[in-house]
Amino acid sequence: MTDTDCDAVVVGTGPAGATCAEVLTAAGWSVIMLEKGRNHLLSLDAPFNPLGHVSNDELKLVFRHFLGPDPWLEPRTFRSSEDDGDRIYTGDVNNLPSTVGGGGMHADGKVPRFREIDFRLASELGPVDGADVVDWPLDYDELEPYYAEAERVVGVAGDAAVNPYAAWRSGPYPMPPGPDMFCAVLTSEAATRLGYHPYRAPTAVNSVEYDGRPACNNCGFCGYFGCPIDAKGDPVAPLRHALRTGRCEIRPESYVTEVLLDETGRRARGVRYVGVDGTVHELSARHVILGAGAFETPRLLLRSEIGNSDVVGRFLMYHFQTFALGVFPFRLHAHRGRSVTHLMDDPIIPDADAQAAARGAGLPWMRGGIVEHGGASHPITEAIHLPPGEDHTRLMMASPMRDRMAAFTMQGEDLPQATNRIDLDPSVTDAWGLPAGRVTYRPHRHELVCAQHWAPRLETVMKEAGARHTFWATSPPLPEQEARRRAANPSPMSRHVMGTARMGDDPRTSVCDRWQRLHDVENVLVADSSVFPTSAGYGPTLTIVALAIRAARALADLEPLRSQRPTGS
């Protein structure tokens, strides 16, 4: 018997928190999940059916902050360096949904695994001036069975045979891939003709009925929307599994303001949180698990004054995004389907050209990221990008952006730099009166050189696919576009946020240990991508889930999962 309210309190209900809740409740623990945002995902009463609030509604989901956070209630601030002063922008900075389900609601769920080398950059490739490239305190072989388990839990559809660069796998994907989007077939066939290696993306979207949830029906309101029929599995699947044990309670609209320590200062006794009506509550727990996302977790650590104060919030990484866009002379209807159905890893595996470009720029090496083959947006998004007047009407009817544009997004690896960080803004506050999170971020030369190398090559693929006009852009913009960058929102568009409570074996240079527990407060575990030591060029979510399974199992003293590398792979 314990005298705490629960065995574990989990902060945040996104993929990280939901995964821990599933593992711990299955191990017999009682778990209370505190979520700052509202619940629009699933009924909290058995059988935990969808609430039916999310819909194919561009206005509500994309423009009216339905899944939160409302940037007026929860502003964040941005500057590119200390030279900018306190901030140059206040508003939406890398906002992911703040709601039961977290960013998993918006994500369109491309979930590739990392490769072996991604865990060993320092050993395999060596240092880069001005960056702090390190190895992870675990390797791919150790994580492989957790990747396999993650794919089973959230339900991933994919084909193990199609990516020649993929790391070894102990088994197939749980589901076959879903249908290919027309535009992605055009661009991936063109890429193949030019010697690249595109493949059907592993996606956390049901291609067949799976785990009691239906197959995706290709509605196309996928990235930036929630799924009205629950065909996206992460994190509704783990949340529902946890709730079904009867040992999990989810409390929405509960904003954790502080992790509370006991008198020793080395153990947490629980958390303090505020309800939407302003009432303050305390919850006691044997363990505190932080899955608030790599932006809010360091903010909470900083507010609570725990974690290695020299490192918390530092080494903030995104993916440096390079967009190559092509406008086609015919309609592509890319608003049908799962937003992105093909990927290619080629820029991650440097060829002779890329190596020469790196050396020419004085870099020892350079790595890009996966290229997502997608397109499309919805009509309000297209409309507001067009000028008012007759051009508006003419262009909306021809639809160069929504219906004729294919898009490559390269999620380029972002090198860790100590000066890139999240801290607390000195004067801007949120609706609860707490200091806003502030980003200080400037890309390393590596990212800029890499984007400039790959962008024209990706444009060439677009042309080969039949695009009549092509162009490219990056987020954040390149330095020569600095003037434009000052005009609108200057913060990176990336929704992949990592590194702000990095894990490692040395308590002086990291915040968490290899089991993701704080070095200085032993019963606090960080479950999200804050712990990533490097960013790799892949979407982070499957790795978040795999790591969370591993860390939560270790916490509950469960046997480590093991897997067998097939011979010959």
Partner 1 sequence: MAIWLTEHEHAVVAAAADRVIPPVGGHPGGGALGVADFIDSLLGAFVFDPPRIWAGGPFSGRAGGTASFDEFLPLNSLEELAWRTRIEGSKGMVERERNGAVIGWQQQYRNGIAALGRDFCDISGREQDARLNGDPAFKNLLYTHACEGAYGAPEYGGNREMRGWGAIQYQGDVQPRGYTDREVEGRE
Q: Which residues contribute to the site for partner 1 (CB under 8 A)?
A: 38, 50, 52-60, 63-66, 70, 72-73, 75, 90, 179-182, 185, 216-221, 228-229, 253, 276-277, 330-331, 333, 335-337, 378-380, 383-384, 388-390, 392-394, 396-397, 399, 402-403, 428-429, 431, 433
Sheet containing strand 320-327, edge to edge, reads 198-200, 340-344, 369-375, 405-412, 320-327, 469-475
Is 358 among the residues that bind ligand SF4 (CB under 6 A)?
Answer: no
- CA-based torsion, 355, 417, 443, 305: positive or negative: positive
For ligand FAD, the closer CB: 504 or 540: 540
Report the residue number, 143 or 181, with the smaller CB distance to partner 1: 181
In terms of CB distance, is 127 or 275 closer to ligand FAD? 275
For ligand FAD, the binding residue among 75, 177, 198, 223 (CB under 6 A) is 223
| 218 counts as binding ligand SF4 under rule CB under 6 A | yes
- CA nearest 406: which of 464, 490, 487, 489? 464
The answer to whether 293 contacts ligand FAD (rule: CB under 6 A) is: yes
Cβ contact 553:385 at 8 Å = no
DSSP state of 60: I
List the one residue from 251, 373, 446, 496 that touches ligand FAD (CB under 6 A). Answer: 496
Q: Which two tokens stand for residue 70?
A: 């409302």
Closest to partner 1 by CB, 50 or 369:
50
Amino acid at 69: P
The span of 11-19, 219-227, 243-251, 551-559 binding ligand SF4 (CB under 6 A) equals 219-227
- x-or-dash string of contact with ligand FAD, 103-132, rule CB under 6 A: xx-xxxxxx---------------------
**Least distance from C-beta 350 to partner 1, angstroms?**
33
Are 112 and 121 spatial neighbours (Cβ–Cβ below 8 Å)?
no
Beta bridge partners of 474: 322
Contact 246, 255 (CB under 8 A): no
By CB under 6 A, is residue 298 in contact with ligand FAD?
no
Contact criterion met (CB below 8 Å) for 472 and 325: yes
Selection from 321, 544, 340 nearest residue 413 by Cα: 321
Amino acid at 374: G
Helix (H, G, I), strand (E, B) or coil at 567: coil
503/513 Cα distance (integer angstroms): 5
Q: Give the x/- contact pattern for ligand SF4 in 307-346, rule: CB under 6 A.
A: -------------------------------x--------
Size of the residue set binding ligand SF4 (CB under 6 A): 14
Applying CB under 6 A, which part among 2-10, 229-237, 295-303, 460-468 lies near ligand SF4? 229-237
Distances (CA, A) of 159 to 198, 286, 355: 12, 41, 30
Question: Cα separations (Å) of 349 from 116, 124, 289, 466?
Answer: 12, 13, 35, 26
Segment lying near ligand FAD (by CB under 6 A), choices 41-49, 158-166, 324-332, 537-545: 537-545
Q: Can you say whether the dihedral through the CA atoms of 217, 219, 222, 224 is positive or negative? A: negative
Binding residue (CB under 6 A) for ligand FAD from 8, 9, 12, 311? 12
Closest approach, Cβ 116 to partner 1, in A, equals 34
The reply to whether 216 sits near ligand SF4 by the rule CB under 6 A is: yes
Half-sphere exposure of 506 (CA within 13 A, CB side): 8
**Helices (DSSP H) in 7-137: which residue ranges?**
15-26, 58, 121-125
Q: Which residues lie near ligand FAD (CB under 6 A)?
A: 11-17, 34-37, 96, 98-99, 102-104, 106-111, 223-224, 255-256, 291-293, 296, 300, 495-496, 528-529, 539-541, 544
Q: Which residues lie near ligand SF4 (CB under 6 A)?
A: 205, 216-222, 225, 227, 229, 231-232, 338
